[in-house]
Structure 1
Amino acid sequence: MSLQDVPGQQLPRLADFEVVRLIGDGNHGRFYLARPPARLGIGDEYVAVKIFAGECTEDDYRRGARELRAFAAVESPYLATVYDAVLEDSFLYAMEYFSLGSLASPARPLERSEILRALEHAARAVDALHEAGLAHGDIKPANVMLTDSGAKLSDLGLARVFNEGAAMTGMAPETSVEYVDPTLLLGDPPSRATDLWGLGATMHRSLSGAGLYGEIPKHQPLLAIRKVQSTPPAIDSSLTDGERAIVARCLAPLGERYETAGELADAIGMLRA
């Protein structure tokens, strides 16, 4: 999420939330800063509300709400809190707001140790989801939200829920394809292994500032996907030996990656130590 205001942006009406401003664009929708309605009974002054682009059917809403309830039921201090889901013309949901931004756009420059801590926490969040039988499906720096004590993982990948049966090539914008396991582009479902790939790609970008595939064509999803499918991922030389080893294992062929995201989190923790 970007924490930049967009001048002149007309604010929409989002159920009974008091919309303050646009936070930024995410996959298949937009995030808004809003004040929560009293009916939610929460103490937070602000929440982040995501509204998905396009119309949403009753079936879409039921599937999306079911996924969010499952996400919200997982007990982990490293997962963002989801407060509400609403169906109007489109599907929207509210979660806690992170004023410090994300690994993609932090509110201030981060020390390397802070980046590693945020990555460790994201891996622990993914491990909790996996132990609950869920795959995140959309891991990237923009979904690793920063807190005073580290990070929380947000924005469960709901695009696949609203597009049952659709190929990943129809759901992954060019801004996210760098973090997508190539097997997903071939039609495989999100899994423990594909989330590990996403964590490795997120670690690589967050620590090096470089992509695994070099420059990816912007605003041209098919060309971006073609670039990823035809270019072997390359680990940037700015990473330390320990960081390179972790990223390489996340990107290894199926069966050679970490057994669990918890094991990955421990490896990142050892780097921090």
Structure 2
Amino acid sequence: MATVEVPQHLADFTVLSRLGEGGNGTFYLAVPPERLGLTTDRVVLKVFGGRCSDDAYRRGVRELRAFAAVRSPYLASLYDAVLQGQFMYAMEYFPLGSLARPTQPLTRDTALAALADAARGVDALHEAGIAHANITPSSVLLTESGGRPGGKVSDLGLARVLAADEPITSFAQPGAVQYMDPALLAGDVPSRATDIWSLGAVLHRALTGQGVYGEVPDAQPLLAIRAALSTPPALSDKLDPEERTLIANCLALSGERPATAGEVAGRIDRLRH
């Protein structure tokens, strides 16, 4: 396997290592420049693939500023946005990883605590008039304070914003399609309701290790989208009745979809034993 070259610098950030890929970009651990005046010596840089126009950069910065203006302990801190051919932004570093890539095996309680907190962060965004539009296991970051597990949400759906004039098939990631409300794939705009659908799909993955569409194809986004649009979500037999009811509600498979992400957070809390 070919070695991936890691740049020493990105803009005026000093790159320490490559953390991985996801959400149409590559993540790096970096040392922030003094100009930011941060008290932390580690940040994560997300660098989006492909060239970015000035207009797309302005759209991306506008979205990030709106996210950063929302005050919630359940939202990842954002520090900077830079355009050097590619669009990149700097955010808080989470040494425990995410639901998708934890640095150590997750217990059920830890996963539920992180997802409940992330839902609270999503609720704060909704109250500020912002839809997240990219809730996946990778966007739920793991925290711990005083021995209490928790989480924060990050990674807004900027790929959609940066590629505003392009069809969804040009930027949708196959692995992320299973966490997108089919209404989005059919052309609806991101909303409180579509984010709640995503929270339900991520909860299903956290509890069962399975997606609501089974194994989506990895070859092409278009194939994953077709699978999601043609296959009704199916819930795993591993779920207990309370878990099944909450997820079915979020996906609107039965009953009414929860009115708020805050309600979802409270119901996830009640699943913890």
Alignment TM-score > 0.5, same fold: yes
- Where does residue 14 of structure 1 map in the other structure? 10
Tell me if 1:60 matches 2:78: no
- Where does residue 236 of structure 2 map in the other structure? 236
Provide the rounded CA distance (Å) in 2 between the counterparts of 1:164 and 1:218. 24
Alpha carbon RMSD of aligned pairs, Å? 1.6
Q: What CA deviation, in whole Å up to 9, does each residue of 1:199-240 have, x standing for no partner?
A: 000000011001111111112222111111111111111122
Give every structure 1 segment of 4 or more consecutive aligned residues whose post-TM-superposition deviation is greater than 6 Å. none
The alignment's TM-score, normalised by the length of structure 2, stands at: 0.94
Q: Which residue identity does 1:8 align to in structure 2?
A: T
Tell me if 1:23 matches 2:5: no
The alpha-carbon deviation at position 8 of structure 1 amounts to 3.2
Mapping of residues 53-92 of structure 1, within 5 Å: 53-92=49-88
The 3-state SS of whatever aligns with 2:178 is: helix
Q: Which residue identity does 1:151 align to in structure 2?
A: G
The alpha-carbon deviation at position 165 of structure 1 amounts to 3.6
Provide the rounded CA distance (Å) in 1 between the counterparts of 2:134 and 2:48. 15
Provide the rounded CA distance (Å) in 1 between the counterparts of 2:106 and 2:83. 37
- Where does residue 118 of structure 1 map in the other structure? 114
Q: What CA deviation, in whole Å up to 9, does each residue of 1:85-115 have, x standing for no partner?
A: 0111111000011111100111111111111
Query: Would the aligned equivalents of 1:135 and 1:191 in 2 still touch at CA under 8 Å?
Result: yes
Query: Would the aligned equivalents of 1:167 and 1:185 in 2 still touch at CA under 8 Å?
Result: no
The 3-state SS of whatever aligns with 1:164 is: coil
The alignment's TM-score, normalised by the length of structure 1, stands at: 0.94
Q: How many residues align?
A: 268
Q: Which runs of 5+ in 1 are unaligned?
A: 1-5
The alpha-carbon deviation at position 167 of structure 1 amounts to 3.2
Provide the rounded CA distance (Å) in 1 between the counterparts of 2:255 and 2:184. 16
Mapping of residues 43-192 of structure 1, within 5 Å: 43-149=39-145, 150-192=150-192
Query: Would the aligned equivalents of 2:70 and 2:124 in 1 still touch at CA under 8 Å?
Result: yes
